[in-house]
Amino acid sequence: MDIKQLTYFIEIAESKTITEAAKKLHIAQPALSQSLKALEESVGVPLINRNKRHHTLTHTGEVLYQEAKKIVTQLEATKKKVSASTSQQAEIINVGINTISSHLLLPVIKQMKKDYPQVNLNIHQNESNHLSRMVRKNELDFAIVRFPINTTHLENILLDEEPFYFVCSKSNKNRTHIETLPRRMMTPLILPSNQMLGTYQTILEHLTDYTNLSQNISGCSDMDLLLTMVEADMGCSIVPQSALNQKNYDIDVLSIKDSTISSTYGLVYSKDKELTLVTAHFIDLLTNQMKKKKIA
């Protein structure tokens, strides 16, 4: 039993007659019949029920057909991986990353360079909704985004969920949390992103009890600038946990005990475009990294 025999048998199983299968394989019918006979001799039982009009698979034939498909598929995937690793032509992967989640990429990029040193990465940073549009236009292979966004025509994989924190300039009060979002500290408020985009709207939905609050809200899509403004006592903010892990700011960071506000992030790619082997590997690295993080 070899790969050639298995490939021939798959075609026989998916055709009504040996003659039909031979035509699809572009080989003579007697040669295909001989291959089938040799395969049946190697397993010791018939693989098809031979009828005048068309053949059907025996129970053993059905088992072999399913296993043969797995073997041939795995072989093709292996060939592609070997070819990609030895190709002189570098593959380019266009990756989008939103303005808050850049910390996710660095360890994965390091591993990608080890696995596929010939691959070139183009990394685009922008707002999540804009990145999703770029994915739909095939300008990006995939993007890491914050939800909620419009996922029409996109496959999406949720990676993780994280809490928001209330941040303000340093005060004399030594606190680690607040029970409720305090009115006196809410204004002026600088929110991540802007009024048209997801993170801003997610936060705003949790502030509906604060009357006239909208008159005192600004938006800033640059997280470093936003937190620097908070540090300079130009306003307070509500930001996801990951925004605080990238740099040490001289600010008060307070957990919000009475709120379910959180941020969900993940990755999106087009439903209409087949992922290359290398891009699929990149996505697997990202998802596996998040699984390890959750276990830890």
Q: What is the mean pLDDT of residues 289-295?
A: 70
Longest Cα–Cα distance of the chain, Å, equals: 92
Tell me the C-alpha to C-alpha distance, in Å, between residue 148 and each of 7, 263, 264, 267.
45, 9, 8, 12
Q: What is the pLDDT of residue 197?
A: 52
What secondary structure does DSSP assign to 227-260, as a single string? Answer: HHHHHTTS-BEEEEGGGGSSS--SEEEEEETT--
Task: Annotate 165-192 with three-state secondary structure.
Answer: EEEEECCCCCCCEECCCCHHHCCCEEEE
139: three-class secondary structure by DSSP: coil
Q: Residue 164 pairs with which residues in a beta bridge?
A: 240
Residue 34 has pLDDT above 50, yes or no: yes
194: three-class secondary structure by DSSP: coil
Tell me the C-alpha to C-alpha distance, in Å, between residue 201 and each of 16, 89, 144, 196, 240.
58, 44, 19, 8, 13
Residue 67 has pLDDT above 90, yes or no: yes
Q: What is the pLDDT of residues 73-92, one digit of tens each?
A: 888 878 777 766 655 456 88
Confidence of residue 196 (pLDDT cuts 50, 70, 90): very low
Q: What is the pLDDT of residue 37?
A: 92
Residue 176 has pLDDT above 70, yes or no: no
All domains of the chain in start order, with CATH: 3-85 (1.10.10.10), 92-158+264-294 (3.40.190.10), 163-262 (3.40.190.10)
Report the 10 Å Cβ neighbour count for 230: 23
Rounded Cα gap, residues 268 and 47, in angstroms: 43
pLDDT, greater one: 246 or 156 = 156
Confidence of residue 172 (pLDDT cuts 50, 70, 90): very low
Rounded Cα gap, residues 260 and 262, in angstroms: 6
Share of the chain above pLDDT 70, in %: 83
Predicted structure pTM score: 0.61
Rounded Cα gap, residues 110 and 257, in angstroms: 37
Q: What is the pLDDT of residues 262-287, one digit of tens each?
A: 778 899 999 988 888 889 999 999 99
Residue 122 has pLDDT above 90, yes or no: yes
Residues with Cβ within 8 Å of residue 30, at least 6 apart in sequence: none
Which residue, among 292, 67, 12, 21, has the nearest Cα to 160 in the 3D structure?
292
The chain-wide mean pLDDT, for the chain, equals 82
